[in-house]
Amino acid sequence: MIHETLQAIAGGMVEVVIDGILFGLQLSLLAVGLVLIFGLGGILNLAHGEFVIITGIISVVLISSGWNPFIAISAAIFLSGLLGLALDRTVLRPVYKLKGEMEVLVGLFVTLGLAFILEGITSYLFPGFYFSVRIPVETINIMGLSFRASALVSGLISFVSLYLLLIFLGRTMTGKAIRAALQNQTGSRVCGIDVERMRTLVFFLGGLMAGLASLAKGVASSVEPGSGLELTSYALIVGVVGGVRSVYGAMVAGVLLGVVNAIASYLLGTYLTLIILLGIVVVVILYKPSGLFAGGV
Amino acid sequence: MSLRSLYVPKPILIFFAVFAILPLISSNPYHVRIFTIVVLYASFVYAANIIIGESRQLFLCMSALAGISAYTSSILSLSFGINPWLTIPAGILFSAAVGALLSYVSIVRGLGEIFVAIVTLTFSLIFENVILGLRWLTMGETGLVTPVLWWPFQEIAGKRVASYYTILIFTLLVSILYANLVRSRLGIALRAIRSDRVSAEVVGIDVTRYNVIAASIGSGILALGGAFYGYFNGMVSPGVFSLSVDIAIILMLVLGGIRTLYGPLIGSVAIVFVLETTRGLGQLTLTFLGILLVVLILTFREGISSIIQRAAVKLSGQGQ
Amino acid sequence: MDLLAVEGLRAGYKGLNVLWDVDLNVEKNTIVSVIGSNGSGKTTLLNAIMGFVEVNKGEIIFNGNKITHLKPQERVGLGIAYVPSERELFPEMTVEDNLMLGAYTPRARKHLRESLSQVYEFFPILSERRNQLAGTMSGGEQQMLAIGRALMSRPELLILDELSTGLAPAITLRIYRKLEGLSERMTVLLAEQNIHQAFMVSDYIYVMENGKIIASGSPDELSESSLIKSAYLGVKG
């Protein structure tokens, strides 16, 4: 009897942990865009969540205009990348002229202001909009354990996106050049790397990641206008835990927090879970404020 | 520092004299409410002036610090049936302690300004989620109805006006506190740290101590103001102490003039005026705030007050 | 023909002038040194040639083209490579990645594999440590990596700033010996505080003081000069 109960609990736990990982991957994907731009671009983009929302809105608009959903969403994600690029090339131009800390602080406020602008506009123009992708299958059974298909697909999208990003940053020349530009600007120039162009590319990538996060969220649940700042804050929290400049850290932190969230919810219920999650953040802030993986990409 | 050597700049008294007669000009309850908001926010901006302006600690959790005090005071009063005036000190102490802790941890961990901003922003989020999470205590999203606070002279003037004058006097005292703080040993030390931190340390200035003190004082002001806000509003909720409040404070600080004596007053009047004028826009108010923030931070970083002061100096120089 | 010509150069940081009317020529396939004490302007001159310093007056001509106002990364693309005194490596990337980034420009990327094996042959220790993080290597190894990275761009002109700083003389000597071997295929311009080493290795020497060139000539010519003797003594004393 005990043996069966334990088996049931174990089975339940495995499902819970995997659910946690899947959700965590979503969090990681959400955070990675923010961390990428901060770590490699030097700007804390508080408008990050807005990019996620805008991708969703564009997708819905295009699809309702008759576009093929696949193409529509791809276009929206690409547009999100372009938005990031535009941010770098326009609004942030005057910010780059400033030095060091002034640049970061003013950049922070400018992106915060931008977040407010976009949040207001999107809520005003598209009230009641939501972006959601429905998976035809309800549940999928693997090895006797059942999972929501939407969660699996979402997790898969997140995983593939993150994996491709890591490959790009680690294996391609351009990816290496981006990382180099973060580690040493002078050294990069001496190699012939155009540091400013790398930064623009990073913003494009960050926007792209936000777009992908929108897709992942749209599959798992939905993306709605007005939740931009909330999304940014989740990304920020995951980023803070993982190391605000570390792409790798954001990935690990997201999964970690996702798993903790899932296990704690399963065993202890929602409120205690919240306290535990926040507790982790507080502990990280107190003992290693630069994050668990402070060492850069 | 004895009371005799207290520095009370005349313009401040004039400012407050003007504010004092406002309710006599218009006793419209809506207007009085606006006046109260202006004066209350001014006190917040003075606190921000101390924390962000003088001690360069970019706290983005000012509304959270105000909220902690408001919630603490209200909950204690409601749970134990104590007169709110007696629980307010507890709220102040709590907030000041949190502010001091945030400051201390930041310095000891060697966090740069941007990380202080991130950490305090995260703290704001934590505060909001704790309020939502402890629903059984705080009534979560819906908010907590605050116990009734007795405002001095409310029998004579009515609650609305009485609360206005109380908060007005509070802000007056805060402004005088600020004026004297800047001239005090603390203020001078902070200025030294601002201009060259390394040299200040070499000369023996204890950066940690002064920053923590500044943060505590600022937090204390936010706490008392926050408590007043809660009681005056009749209700506290996460929405009352949200990030928008922080943004508004920063807007007022930047527009009015950072590290100036009159800046908080000017900024508060200006921003509240703008917000009230654009009230009908609904969601777009957010957009408007955002535009204001971007424009201000990119162009107007000095603020109106310092521009006026520089103009005044120029004029008086030319006059001679 | 001169590979590099600097004419009447005035340059400095943030409007302040550090270099005053500097004229310098580097012939192809030679090793040219700029010597002088700390603060004489050697590094500023090299930085100006590379594009890291604002030029207020004068021209820099490379292979007949005026490069005075090109960005540093553009100059790399034309065939100039620079090894700064601080080396400026990528500490959290491997030796191999550091080297590969040296071949970032299109002109160099075509021959990346070839360059890489050549550099590994030139500095065997880099081959041994190819997967080690650059930040964990010793001073001498980092210097070799910095030079190797510069070589990866297949430069016509290799510029080195204060090679000997922070290195044991024996290691510096070894590196200089290797550079001598290179001068058949490329041109080298270096700034050196260690006069002895500069004299040993160079075909032509420029002497700088207070941002000006005060003497120039072959090592033999200069060692006759009493000016150099006093400068030499100056540095020694």
C189 forms beta bridges with: C32, C159
Residue at A259: amino acid letter: V
> How many residues belong to chain A?
297
- Partner-chain contact A192 C52, CB within 8 Å: no
For chain A, give the percent of residues with pLDDT over 90. Answer: 38
Residue C236 has pLDDT above 50, yes or no: no
Distance from CA of A38 to the nearest CA of B (A): 11
Q: Touching check for A278 and chain B: CB below 8 Å?
A: yes
Tokens found for residue C198: 């500069």
Q: Indicate the CATH number of B3-319 among 1.25.10, 1.10.3470, 1.10.12, 3.40.1620.
A: 1.10.3470
Give the torsion through C-alpha atoms of A185, A190, A191, A193, to 10 deg.
Answer: 50
Q: What is the ipTM of this complex?
A: 0.87
pLDDT tens per residue, range A147-174:
888 888 899 999 999 999 999 998 999 9
Q: Judge: A44–B118 Cβ closer than 8 Å, yes or no.
A: yes
Give contacts of A 177-196 with C, CB under 8 A. 177, 179-180, 183-184, 186-195
Tell me phi and psi for residue B76, to 5 degrees: -60, -45
Q: Cα–Cα distance between A2 and A205 in angstroms, integer?
A: 51
User: Distance between the two ends of chain B, CA-based, in angstroms?
Assistant: 35
Q: How far apart are alpha carbons C79 and B242 in whole angstroms?
A: 57
Q: Are B294 and A110 an interchain contact pair (Cβ–Cβ within 8 Å)? A: yes
Would you say residue A293 lies in a domain?
Answer: no
How many residues would you count in chain B?
320
Q: Residue A205's domain spans which residues?
A: 2-287
Compute how many other C-beta atoms are within 10 angstroms of the C-beta atom of residue A129.
18
CB–CB contact A190 C82 (8 Å): yes
- 10 Å Cβ neighbour count for A76? 24
pLDDT at residue C198 is higher than 90: no
Q: Is A126 helix (H, G, I), strand (E, B) or coil?
A: coil
Tell me the average pLDDT of chain C: 87
The number of C-alpha atoms within 13 Å of B94 and in the hemisphere containing its C-beta is 19
Q: Could you tell me the CA-to-CA distances from A194 to A208, C105, C107 in Å, in that order? A: 21, 10, 15
Burial B272-286 (b: 16+ CB within 10 A, else e): bebbeeeeeeebbbb
Cβ-defined contact of A176 to C71 (cutoff 8 Å): no
* Residue tagged 């207020």 (tokens): C56
Q: Is residue A112 less than 8 Å (CB to CB) from chain B? A: yes
For residue A202, give the CATH number of its domain: 1.10.3470
CA distance A189 to chain C (A): 5
Residues of C in contact with A192 (CB under 8 A): 73, 76-77, 104-105, 108, 153
Model pLDDT, residue B226:
94
Specify whether the CB–CB gap between B89 and B30 falls below 8 A. Answer: no
Cβ separation of A101 and B130 shorter than 8 Å? no
What is the band of C226 on the pLDDT scale with cuts at 50, 70, 90? low
Report the 3 state secondary structure along chain B.
CCHHHCCCCHHHHHHHHHHHHHHHHCCCHHHHHHHHHHHHHHHHHHHHHHHHHHCCCCCCCHHHHHHHHHHHHHHHHHHHCCCHHHHHHHHHHHHHHHHHHHHHHHHHCCCCHHHHHHHHHHHHHHHHHHHHHCHHHHCCCCCEECCCCCCCCHHHHCHHHHHHHHHHHHHHHHHHHHHHHHHCHHHHHHHHHHHCHHHHHHHCCCHHHHHHHHHHHHHHHHHHHHHHHHHHHCEECCCCCCHHHHHHHHHHHHHHCCCCCCHHHHHHHHHHHHHHHCHHHCCHHHHHHHHHHHHHHHHCCCCHHHHHHHHHHHHHHHHC
Cα–Cα dist B159/A7, whole Å: 65
Contact status of A110 with chain B (Cβ, < 8 Å):
yes
Instruction: Record the pTM.
Output: 0.84
**Cβ of A296 and C153 within 8 Å?**
no
Q: Is the pLDDT of residue A207 over 90?
A: yes
For residue A189, which residues of chain C lie inside 8 Å, CB to CB? 52, 71-73, 76
Are the beta carbons of A110 and B297 separated by less than 8 Å?
yes
Q: What does the alpha-carbon distance between residue B69 and residue B218 come to, in Å, rounded to a whole number? A: 13
**Mean confidence (pLDDT) of chain B:** 85
| Nearest-CB residue to C88 (from A187, A192, A195) | A187
Distance (Å) from the alpha carbon of C101 to chain A's nearest alpha carbon: 6
Digit-coded pLDDT (tens) for B89-117: 999 999 999 999 999 988 888 777 777 88
Cβ pair A246, A294 in contact under 8 A? yes
Alpha-carbon Rg for chain A, nearest whole angstrom, is 20
- Interface check B291 vs A, CB under 8 A: yes
Q: Distance (Å, rounded) from C-alpha A111 to C-alpha A96? A: 13
Q: How many domains does chain A have?
A: 1
Cross-chain Cβ contact C76/A297 below 8 Å? no
- Inter-chain contact B122–A281, Cβ cutoff 8 Å? yes
**d(C-alpha A229, C-alpha B55), whole Å:** 28
Q: What is the mean pLDDT of residues B284-290?
A: 80
A164, containing H or E segment: helix A149-171
Chain A residue with minimum CA distance to C73: A192
Give the tokens for residue B196: 């060259």
Rounded CA gap, B264 and A274, in Å?
37
Give SS3 for C39.
coil
Note whether B157 contacts A: Cβ–Cβ < 8 A.
Answer: no
According to CATH, the topology of domain C1-78+189-237 is: Rossmann fold (3.40.50)
Looking at the DSSP bridge assignments, the partners of residue C31 are: C188
Chain C CA closest to residue A191: C102
On average, the pLDDT of chain A sits at 86
How many CA atoms does the CB half-sphere of C144 hold within 13 Å?
Answer: 26
Give dist(CA A26, CA A47) in Å, integer.
Answer: 18
Cα-based distances in Å from C120 to B139, B225, C129, C145, C159? 69, 68, 10, 10, 20
Q: What are the phi and psi torsion angles at A31 (to 5°)?
A: -75, -30
A97: distance to nearest CA of chain C, Å? 14
pLDDT in tens, B244-281: 888 889 889 888 888 888 889 999 999 898 888 877 76
Domain ranges in chain B are 3-319
Query: Which pLDDT value is given to residue B12?
Result: 83
Q: What is d(CA B129, CA A236) in angstroms, rounded to the nearest whole number?
A: 14
Does the beta carbon of B112 lie under 8 angstroms from any beta carbon of chain A?
Answer: yes
Helix (H) or strand (E) holding A147: strand A145-148
pLDDT, tens digit, 9 for 90 and up, residues A9-24? 776 788 888 889 999 9
Domain assignment of residue A292, yes or no: no
Report C:217-236 residues touching A (Cβ under 8 A).
Answer: none
pLDDT at A132 over 90: no
Task: Kindly state the DSSP code that residue C136 receives in the 8-state scheme.
Answer: G
Is the CB of C104 less than 8 angstroms away from the CB of A173? yes
**Looking at the domain assignment, is residue A294 inside a domain?**
no
Contact C73 A193 (CB under 8 A): yes
Averaged pLDDT, A188-192: 93
Instruction: Work out the angle at residue A269's Cα, subtended by the Cα atoms of residues A268 and A272, and round it to the nearest 5 degrees.
Output: 75
A243 inside domain: yes
Residue A297 lies in a domain: no
